[in-house]
């Protein structure tokens, strides 16, 4: 599963970079730089801003990639060492999924910007923002629930001990 998440994130990052690199010279100088909640363009700017968007995508990817390499003392959790040993891997799994999700969210924004700039679309789907937010929120809530379950006593385990 770990390699799948990393592969998804890497493909998303490459997709964003290659989309801009391949399409850049054919784009008009004025491109969309902001989409309203309904998916329609409500801000225009210079096409060089696409590289800023790719830069943000790279920073998200690299920043979330570096988290597992942080010193062990960086994960300050007010829990017992036993629970910490189970919670930290869950937190790192969550970060890995968020990296894949956020990389693809930014890749989709990049793609939409290029497509609109080319005149092939009027905007993004109005479902993009709710869907993107929903995916991220569900991921975070899922992992929070799993971490909270670590500290909840298992009644079946207590019965077996007693």
pLDDT tens-digit readout, 38-80: 999 999 999 999 999 999 999 999 999 999 998 876 767 677 7
**3-state percent breakdown (helix, strand, coil) of the chain, nearest 5:** 70, 10, 20
Which residues constitute the domain of residue 43? Answer: 2-161
Answer whether residue 128 shows pLDDT above 60.
yes
- What is the average per-residue pLDDT within 125-134? 95
The pLDDT value given to residue 94: 96
Split at pLDDT 50, 70, 90, the class of 85 is confident
Domain count, the chain: 1
Lowest mean pLDDT among 36-40, 85-89, 155-159: 155-159
pLDDT at 18 > cutoff 90: yes
Calculate the CA dihedral of residues 60, 58, 134, 137 and round it to 10 degrees: -10
User: Taking the model in full, what pTM does it have?
Assistant: 0.88
- The pLDDT of residue 34 is above 90: yes
Nearest-angstrom CA–CA distance, 146 and 141: 9
pLDDT at 82: 82
Handedness of CA 94, 97, 128, 53 (dihedral sign): positive
The residue-averaged pLDDT of 100-116 equals 97
Q: Are 136 and 98 in contact (CB under 8 A)?
A: yes
pLDDT above 80 for 7:
yes
The pair of three-digit structure tokens given for residue 67, joined into one six-digit string: 């988290």
Q: Are 103 and 57 in contact (CB under 8 A)?
A: yes
């Amino acid at each position: 599963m770990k390699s799948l998440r990393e592969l998804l994130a890497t493909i998303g990052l490459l997709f964003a970079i290659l989309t801009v690199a391949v399409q850049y010279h054919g784009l008009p100088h004025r491109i969309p730089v902001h989409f309203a909640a309904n998916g329609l363009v409500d801000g225009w700017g210079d096409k060089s801003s696409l590289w800023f968007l790719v830069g943000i995508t790279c920073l998200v990817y690299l920043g979330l990639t570096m988290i597992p390499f942080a010193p062990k003392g960086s994960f300050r959790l007010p829990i017992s060492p036993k629970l910490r040993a189970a919670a930290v891997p869950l937190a790192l799994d969550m970060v890995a999924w968020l990296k894949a999700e956020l990389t693809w969210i930014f890749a989709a924004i990049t793609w939409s910007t290029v497509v609109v700039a080319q005149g092939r679309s009027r905007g993004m789907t109005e479902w993009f923002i709710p869907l993107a937010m929903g995916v991220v929120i569900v991921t975070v809530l899922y992992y929070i629930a799993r971490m909270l379950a670590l500290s909840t006593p298992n009644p079946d385990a207590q019965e077996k001990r007693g």
